[in-house]
Structure 1
Amino acid sequence: MKIKNIKVDALTKRVGFTVLILVIYHLLTFVTIPGVDSKELLSLQNNSSLTMLSMFSGGSFDNFSIMSMGVTAYITSQIIIQLLQADVVPKLTQWSKEGETGRRKLDQTIRTLTVILGFIQALGIALGINQLTNGQFVIGSSWRNYFVIALLMTSGTFIAMWLADQITEKGLGNGISVIIATGIIAKFPSMTVQVIQNLNSGKDLNYALLTYLILGIIGVTLLIIWFTTSELRIPVQYSRRESMTGKDSYLPLKLIVPGVVPIIFASSILAIPQTLLLMFKSKETSALYKVVNEFFTLQSSAGVVLYGILIIFFTYLYSIVQIEPEKLADNFQKQEAYIPGYTPGVETAAYIKKILNELSLPGSLFLTLVSIIPLLVANNISSSLQVGLSGSSLLIITGVFIEISRQIRGLKMKTNYGTFLNREYDFD
């Protein structure tokens, strides 16, 4: 009897699938939207509103393709639904407790909201850019043209959302984070050129400042890696299995439980008012416009402070949303597991929630400091650095690579458990 392995290695399949999806996404960024003069965007390269939106487009905003909005509207919809399901809207709260069925209903609600927000945002972007370019961006500024442009951009958001879901399910890492990270990386060459140009003092390059900048980036990256990979291990005991295995079991909680999600969510929140401001550029002399523009931009001190507050808020919120202490305590009880010193059920859930809050304090402060300090430095060198070389970008990129490496290690461990249970064979 001959045994022949007919299954491709799971890790190879996931790597290949992720690369394929990213290539498809990149090719779609060249599908430009008709009815606009994308060359007019060159004069708006340092516009704070468009710079923020560019982060979520995966590098496809420069030529105003159908993928220009990226996953912005989808992220915003997720934020809104997750906030509303936290005992704000009873129906959404009920769905969040109904397992797989409830999750499908919530996903459908998020997608429906994505259509509405995406269309409004796309319309605002088209109107705003046209105002910024004195009516030179949209060719033939009729409402029909604006409708078609908004429809195509919203369709691109759905394509980006679907591609991100495919990476999450069949590839490596979280799809949304991977697309955003690759978009930031794709802009590195142009950002590097702009950095060097801004470091030129007369005819000579300021090598000292360039060296400090490079060392700072390396130092911050190493600090991010150390902080992101740190974890707290809570001992867990099993009533039946403890005496049989003789091994210690524990619940690992990362020091930064939600990873880079708070950074992405905070950036997305700031992007919403920036989109609205584009629509009302003609009223930039009004007091309300000036206040909103001051607080919802990464180019002002007030905006940077608000950005930090949002990061802290989402770190606390998403730590609870991601771990779900009540559900985790319930699973412990079903598996006859317990945390020493705490009774199963409500007391265990309360203890886990307390630990999450304690971890969120240093975690949120770290995310905030790493995001804000390089951002303030970058604003004094070049406004374009707020996306290209800011701490937020480093956090997103580093977090994505760490998450992918963890998933790869998990797949390798699974494969190494034995070929009989982990491979498919053909007997002939």
Structure 2
Amino acid sequence: MKFLRKHLLTSRIVWTLLILVISILGQDIIIPGIDPAVADAALSKQSFLQMLGITIGGELKIPTLLSLGLGPYMMGLIFWQALAALDFDWVNRLTINQTGYIQKIITLMLAILQAYQLVFYLKPALVPITVLDHSLPLLVSEIGAILILIAGAMLTVFLGNVNAEKGLGGISILILPGVLIGLPRALQAGWQDLNYPLTVPHLLTAGLVTLVVIILFVMLLQIELRIPLQRPLIEGNGSQSYLPFKLLVAGAMPFMFSSTLFLIPNELIESNGTLRASHLAKFIHLVTNQQTVAGIVGYGVIIMLLTYIFGFITIQPLRLSKQMKENNEYILNVFPGMATNDYLLKWFLVMATSGGLCLVVIAVIPLIIGLKWHGIANYTIYIGSIAILVTLIQGLWEQIRALYSKQQYQVFK
């Protein structure tokens, strides 16, 4: 233990590996009271759940202890960041502890909703639990499954918080195993109804595409606009700095949720017998079908909308302008107040639009090619998973470099 305390980087690596092992084992603990074969068949029909499972680090193919993964936490975090981006006074007055409690309550509420939704799809797979040769009602199996899923979701958040404190990669590192394990499935059956055989020539093609996408995303993540700032109350070199606006203002977040949002409307229509034969259903099926031109355009629109939404939540230009004023930071030749707000919002829109268009082009190229060779369309899902991996690994690598530099730093030799 003394060795781990002395070698901070090694200690954090050990903690992260331990937490990842616990997370992977939790994905294999099947919930009692559920027939796994029937559950697999029931959940496999819900295409959007399979795609969501890859992005949240959950197992939504067979219900397990940690099936919900980081889903409730991520949704809650997005909701809270959206509130913070609106710069409400009551939000700004909250302490760190109060903010933490509110986020946990939001996560718990979303875990309850998502657990109930998942068990709703699993009703055909519920079987009675036998205790002392007595079969309990199915309601017990249903309530038990919901409670176990909720507990698993909160356990995932706890593991993520422990990793953020003692490990590497923060809470988002728990997504990593699920994305890695889901890569072959994303390529082979990304859109469920399209098959891409994993033969040697296809795997070689996938390897080449992977290399190109990794290089491309690493480059795109490095591109940023630097807005010069002035600090009149500080003398010397510290009086000048810059405000960075990344080209990919939302990172890989649009890819994480675009496929799920793309499929949800059609899934809802199909589950409603009354709407299934309506003109609205035909229109929704057209614009949510990746094998039509309208569907490809619709998918691109979703990515652009998610880029603006997640980018605004991440950068929070209105709140940033207020913080600059409080810190006595100014943009050269731009007045403080509304002029600064408008200036930051303008450049946010420029960078978000440029970065969003880059993501759209990357995402729709396989879909366009897939109009002729249908299996190629699966590369859109596959590339999205690679983008998430690159973003996670880049953040992990930057943290490792910082810790290594800190460990090697010596004032006196």
- Tell me if 1:182 matches 2:177: yes
State the alpha-carbon separation in 1 of the partners of residues 38 and 240 from structure 2: 62
Identity in percent: 27
Q: How far did 1:224 drift?
A: 1.1
Q: How far did 1:58 drift?
A: 2.6
State the alpha-carbon separation in 2 of the partners of residues 142 and 283 from structure 1: 29
- Tell me if 1:67 matches 2:62: no
Residues 267 and 49 of structure 1: CA distance in aligned 2, closer, same or farther (over 3 Å): closer
Residues 366 and 384 of structure 1: CA distance in aligned 2, closer, same or farther (over 3 Å): closer
Q: Which residue of 2 aligns with 1:156?
A: 152
Q: In structure 2, the residue corresponding to 1:252 is in which secondary structure? A: strand
Residues 41 and 6 of structure 1: CA distance in aligned 2, closer, same or farther (over 3 Å): closer
- Tell me if 1:107 matches 2:103: yes
Residues 56 and 319 of structure 1: CA distance in aligned 2, closer, same or farther (over 3 Å): closer
Residues 25 and 247 of structure 1: CA distance in aligned 2, closer, same or farther (over 3 Å): same
Q: Which residue of 1 aligns with 2:20?
A: 22
Amino acid in structure 2 at the alignment position of 1:241:
I
Does structure 2 retain, via aligned residues, the 8 Å contact 1:240–1:336? yes
Amino acid in structure 1 at the alignment position of 2:142:
Y
Aligned residue pairs, count: 395
Among 201, 207, 210, the alignment partner of 1:217 is: 210
Residues 370 and 183 of structure 1: CA distance in aligned 2, closer, same or farther (over 3 Å): same
Amino acid in structure 1 at the alignment position of 2:109:
L
- Report 1:270-419 matches (<5 A): 270=262, 280=271, 286-287=277-278, 305-374=297-366, 380=373, 382=375, 385=378, 390-415=382-407, 418=410
Amino acid in structure 2 at the alignment position of 1:165:
N
Q: Which residue of 2 aligns with 1:424?
A: none
State the alpha-carbon separation in 2 of the partners of residues 174 and 274 from structure 1: 35
Q: Which residue of 1 aligns with 2:234?
A: 241
State the alpha-carbon separation in 1 of the partners of residues 66 and 146 from structure 2: 11
Among 115, 118, 126, the alignment partner of 1:138 is: 126
State the alpha-carbon separation in 2 of the partners of residues 159 and 392 from structure 1: 27
Does structure 1 retain, via aligned residues, the 8 Å contact 2:72–2:110? yes
Amino acid in structure 2 at the alignment position of 1:234:
I
- Tell me if 1:96 matches 2:78: no
- Deviations along 1:69-114, one digit per CA (max 9) or x if unpaired, are 2222333344445556666xxxx93433225356346414522431
Q: Which residue of 1 aligns with 2:220?
A: 227
State the alpha-carbon separation in 2 of the partners of residues 138 and 383 from structure 1: 37
Amino acid in structure 1 at the alignment position of 2:65:
I
Give the CA RMSD over aligned residues: 3.9
Pick which of 258-267 and 355-364 moved more.
258-267
State the alpha-carbon separation in 2 of the partners of residues 183 and 298 from structure 1: 24
Does structure 2 retain, via aligned residues, the 8 Å contact 1:67–1:157? yes
Q: Which residue of 2 aligns with 1:11?
A: 9
Does structure 2 retain, via aligned residues, the 8 Å contact 1:59–1:184? no
Q: How far did 1:68 drift?
A: 1.6
Residues 364 and 276 of structure 1: CA distance in aligned 2, closer, same or farther (over 3 Å): same
Does structure 1 retain, via aligned residues, the 8 Å contact 2:252–2:388? yes
Pick which of 149-158 and 19-28 moved more.
149-158
State the alpha-carbon separation in 2 of the partners of residues 348 and 312 from structure 1: 25
Residues 275 and 105 of structure 1: CA distance in aligned 2, closer, same or farther (over 3 Å): farther
State the alpha-carbon separation in 1 of the partners of residues 295 and 73 from structure 2: 23
Query: TM-score, normalized by length of structure 1?
Result: 0.76
Residues 106 and 95 of structure 1: CA distance in aligned 2, closer, same or farther (over 3 Å): farther
Q: Which residue of 1 aligns with 2:245?
A: 253
State the alpha-carbon separation in 1 of the partners of residues 309 and 189 from structure 2: 37
Does structure 1 retain, via aligned residues, the 8 Å contact 2:55–2:257? no
State the alpha-carbon separation in 2 of the partners of residues 168 and 378 from structure 1: 40
Does structure 2 retain, via aligned residues, the 8 Å contact 1:374–1:391? no
- Deviations along 1:301-331, one digit per CA (max 9) or x if unpaired, are 6555444323222222232322233443344
Query: TM-score, normalized by length of structure 2?
Result: 0.78
